[in-house]
Structure formats: structure tokens, C-alpha cells
């Protein structure tokens, strides 16, 4: 659908540009300058340039040059829908995508090129009866395009801020989880060391298993720290909160207030998986079920799957809903939960997929059980 609409828009723009050339040919005012302006403008609209400020400023400058040449020489020069459409498209690009320090200048150039274009015929905007009409129409078009582009730029900015804040909060949560993981393993090391000191005077056969446990605990602590600290960019204090595990997933499924949920857990998935992997699996299921409640309240069933695939834990949450949510829009969330979830899964060297399935929607996470 989107490609069809784009193709139609491109076709309409090319047809309007061809009409400009027909007008220039019929008025016998020369084709060179209008063709140059249209060629550069169409290239800027249809093919992005490395610098968006040049992409929007160069065609507008050429259009202003054509207008100035017409006024200085006191010769009529044609303008038509093609050049106007190109400049309005570039005005949209300038307001929405050009960096902030250049956006105003580029927007003024594009808007000014549109507004002064009638001077090619009327010399001043107030000449004749049609001059003011063209000026008012130009002001309306410029205001409409700039307003829409400005609104969308503000939406993009708010979304970028929300995504950055979600990622920051998730990193803080990961830091809190890291504290829990290390505290668990280091406490185990301490206890095992104390036992080893007690047994040091005894039989060596009894001491070796204790030393082996110390080595395993230390190795697991370092692996947990490497996997989790990988995504942290800053050190921030965060309130402590309980970390979920595989047992918590069963409780989460049983207490879910929504469509019926079935938990399918492979017997090979044991409770001795690394703590950070269990916590990430719990958060995946938690976020996916929350999204089912928000966006797919019409689902008839939800399936939660846990299984080992090679050396990784695969977590899937699939529903057969069609997006019929009973919640009001204000309660459906901002859509940033998966952003933080992807941050957590990436921290462990895993991957996250979320998208339409054969029936409904599916979230799938792959969490490596061993170090990367």
C-alpha cells in the first residue's frame, strides 16, 4: 500500500513538472532555466542528498534566481504546479529533517521561493487583480506544509526522548539486578571459603569438592558481570526491586488477569540457569502479557513457551488476538516497553523479535545460557 501511494505521488510530481515545461515552451520564454530548476528540484525530492540543508537550499536558491532574473530583465517567466510542488516538498523536508541550526534558514528559502514566484508575472504581489490571490494561496500552502512538518518533527523528538528515557531506566534496572547477582555469587564464595578453612585440617578428598564449588561460583559471578555490564554506559543508583525467575513466570501466568494463558515449559529447562537469564526471561513474559492485556484483549488464548535451543533459552509468547483492546487509548501505554526489553536481552548477547504471526502476535527472545 505504501509503495503504491509513493509511486502515485512520484508520478503526479513528474506530470506536474512536465506541465511546467509545456507552459515554458508555449510562452517561448526559454526552457533552459526552468528545466534546470526542475531537474535539481526533482533530484532533491526523489533522491536524498548527504547534507539535508543543501538538499533543500540549492533548489530554492535556483528558483529565487529565476524569479530575480525575470524581474530584473522585465521579462515574463513561467511558473507552474511542478515547481511549486517541488518547493513545498522541500519545505516539508527542511522543517522536519534539517538540523535545528539550519532548519529555519532552509525553510525561509523554500517558503520565500514559493511566495515570490508570482513576481515573474506581476512584478509585485499587489499588481493586478490576481497578484494578491496568488500571494494568499501561497501563504496558506506554506503555512499548511510547515505546520504539518513541524508537528511531525515535534512527535519524532518526543518519541526519541521517550525511547532514550526508557533505555536509561532499563540500564538502571539492569544495574540493580547486577548487584543482586553478584551479591548471590559472592556470598556463596564467602560461605564456601569459610567451610574450606574448617576442612583444611581434614581429609583432602573432602576439600577438593568445596574448592571446585568456589571456582564455579567465582566463574559464574564474573560471567554474570561481563554479560550484564556490557550495556551500561553510566553508573547510577537505583532502588532495589525483586528480580523475577523461572518460578515467577509460573506465578505470573497463573495470576494473569486476561485471556487464558498456557505455559509450555520443556523439562530440559531447569531452575539452575544463570540468574540474569531467568530475570530476562521473566521480563520478556511480563512485558508480552502486559501488551496482550493492552492491545489484544480479544485474544482467545495465549501460549507461553520455554525451551532450550542448543545453548540458549528460547522464550515465546504468542496470542491469537486481532488488536481488539478494551482499554482506552490513555491506558494503553506509549509503546516503549519493548525498547527497554530489547536493551535487557541485548545485554546478554541475545536477540528479541516481536511481530505478527500466523494468528495474532508473537514475541520471541533467545537468551544465551553460556557466556558470549
Same domain, 86 and 181: no
Closest C-alpha among 60, 144, 142 to residue 109: 60
Same domain, 251 and 362: yes
Same domain, 123 and 175: no
Same domain, 34 and 123: yes
Distance of CA 186 to the CA centre of its chain: 38
Same domain, 124 and 18: yes
Strand 261-265 to strand 302-309: parallel, antiparallel, or no bridges (unpaired)? parallel
Domain that holds residue 314: 246-368
Residue 82 forms part of a structural domain: yes
Decide if 306 contacts 264 (C-beta within 8 A): yes
Closest C-alpha among 355, 356, 357, 354 to residue 366: 354
The CA-atom distances, in angstroms, between 212 and each of 52, 73, 220, 318, 364 are 61, 94, 12, 41, 36
Dist. CA 203–CA 46, nearest whole Å: 81
Query: pLDDT at position 181, please?
Result: 64
Same domain, 364 and 252: yes
The CATH number of whichever domain residue 252 belongs to comes to 3.30.565.10
133-166 pLDDT, tens digit per residue, is 778 888 899 999 999 999 999 998 888 888 777 7
Same domain, 275 and 220: no
Query: pLDDT at position 152, please?
Result: 92
351-366 pLDDT, tens digit per residue, is 898 888 878 888 999 9
Same domain, 256 and 350: yes
Residue 259 forms part of a structural domain: yes
Residue 323 forms part of a structural domain: yes
Decide if 31 contacts 57 (C-beta within 8 A): no
Residue 146 forms part of a structural domain: no
Helix pair angle (131-199, 204-229), 10° resolution: 170
Same domain, 26 and 77: yes
User: Which positions ≥6 away from 288 have C-beta within 8 Å?
Assistant: 304, 317, 363
Same domain, 84 and 33: yes
Query: pLDDT at position 345, please?
Result: 83
Strand partners of residue 267: none
Same domain, 355 and 253: yes
The total of structural domains in the chain comes to 3
CA atoms within 13 A on the CB side of 210: 17
Q: What is the DSSP letter of 371?
A: -
Domain finish residue from 128, 143, 160: 128
pTM exceeds 0.75, yes or no? no
Residue 235 forms part of a structural domain: no
Same domain, 259 and 352: yes
Strand partners of residue 305: 264, 316
Q: Residue 258, Cβ neighbours under 10 Å: how many?
A: 16
DSSP 246-293: HHHHHHHHHT--SS-EEEEE-TT--TTS-HHHHHHHHHHHHHHHHHHH
Query: What is the block-wise mean pLDDT of the chain (372 residues), using blocks of 10 residues?
Result: 71 83 73 83 86 89 86 73 89 91 91 86 58 81 92 89 76 68 64 66 64 67 62 46 74 80 89 84 86 77 90 90 53 56 80 84 87 42
Query: pLDDT at position 12, please?
Result: 83
Residue 138 forms part of a structural domain: no
22-48 pLDDT, tens digit per residue, is 877 776 666 787 888 888 888 888 888
Residue 135 forms part of a structural domain: no
Residue 237 forms part of a structural domain: no
Residue with cell 534546470: 36
Query: pLDDT at position 331, please?
Result: 37
Dist. CA 93–CA 44, nearest whole Å: 10
Query: pLDDT at position 239, please?
Result: 44
Amino acid at each position: 500500500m505504501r509503495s503504491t501511494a509513493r509511486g502515485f505521488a512520484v508520478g503526479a510530481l513528474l506530470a506536474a513538472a512536465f506541465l511546467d515545461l509545456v507552459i515554458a515552451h508555449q510562452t517561448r520564454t526559454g526552457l533552459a532555466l526552468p528545466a534546470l530548476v526542475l531537474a535539481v528540484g526533482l533530484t532533491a525530492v526523489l533522491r536524498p542528498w548527504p547534507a539535508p540543508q543543501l538538499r533543500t537550499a540549492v533548489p530554492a536558491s535556483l528558483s529565487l534566481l529565476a524569479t530575480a532574473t525575470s524581474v530584473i530583465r522585465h521579462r515574463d517567466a513561467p511558473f507552474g504546479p511542478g515547481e511549486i510542488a517541488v518547493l513545498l516538498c522541500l519545505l516539508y523536508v527542511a522543517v522536519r529533517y534539517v538540523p535545528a541550526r539550519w532548519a529555519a534558514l532552509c525553510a525561509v528559502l523554500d517558503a520565500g521561493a514559493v511566495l515570490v514566484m508570482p513576481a515573474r508575472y506581476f512584478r509585485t504581489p499587489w499588481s493586478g487583480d490576481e497578484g494578491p490571490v496568488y500571494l494568499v494561496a501561497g501563504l496558506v500552502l506554506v503555512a499548511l506544509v510547515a505546520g504539518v512538518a513541524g508537528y511531525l518533527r515535534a512527535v519524532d523528538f518526543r518519541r526519541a526522548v521517550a525511547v532514550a528515557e526508557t533505555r536509561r531506566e532499563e540500564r538502571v534496572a539492569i544495574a540493580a539486578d547486577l548487584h543482586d547477582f553478584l551479591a548471590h555469587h559472592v556470598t556463596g564464595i564467602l560461605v564456601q571459603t569459610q567451610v574450606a578453612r574448617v576442612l583444611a585440617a581434614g581429609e583432602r578428598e573432602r576439600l577438593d569438592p568445596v574448592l571446585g564449588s568456589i571456582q564455579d561460583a567465582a566463574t559464574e559471578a564474573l560471567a554474570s558481570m561481563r554479560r550484564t555490564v556490557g550495556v551500561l554506559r553510566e553508573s547510577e543508583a537505583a532502588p532495589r526491586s525483586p528480580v523475577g525467575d523461572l518460578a515467577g513466570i509460573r506465578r505470573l501466568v497463573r495470576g494473569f488477569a486476561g485471556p487464558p494463558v498456557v505455559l509450555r515449559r520443556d523439562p530440559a529447562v531447569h531452575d539452575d540457569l544463570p540468574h540474569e537469564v531467568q530475570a530476562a526471561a521473566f521480563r520478556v513474559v511480563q512485558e508480552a502479557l502486559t501488551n496482550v492485556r493492552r492491545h489484544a484483549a480479544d485474544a482467545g488464548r495465549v501460549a507461553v513457551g520455554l525451551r532450550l535451543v542448543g545453548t540458549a533459552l528460547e522464550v515465546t509468547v504468542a496470542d491469537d488476538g486481532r488488536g481488539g483492546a478494551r482499554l482506552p487509548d490513555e491506558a494503553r501505554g506509549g509503546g516503549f516497553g519493548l525498547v527497554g526489553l530489547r536493551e535487557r536481552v541485548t545485554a546478554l548477547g541475545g536477540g528479541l523479535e516481536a511481530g505478527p504471526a500466523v494468528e495474532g502476535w508473537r514475541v520471541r527472545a533467545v537468551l544465551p545460557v553460556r557466556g558470549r
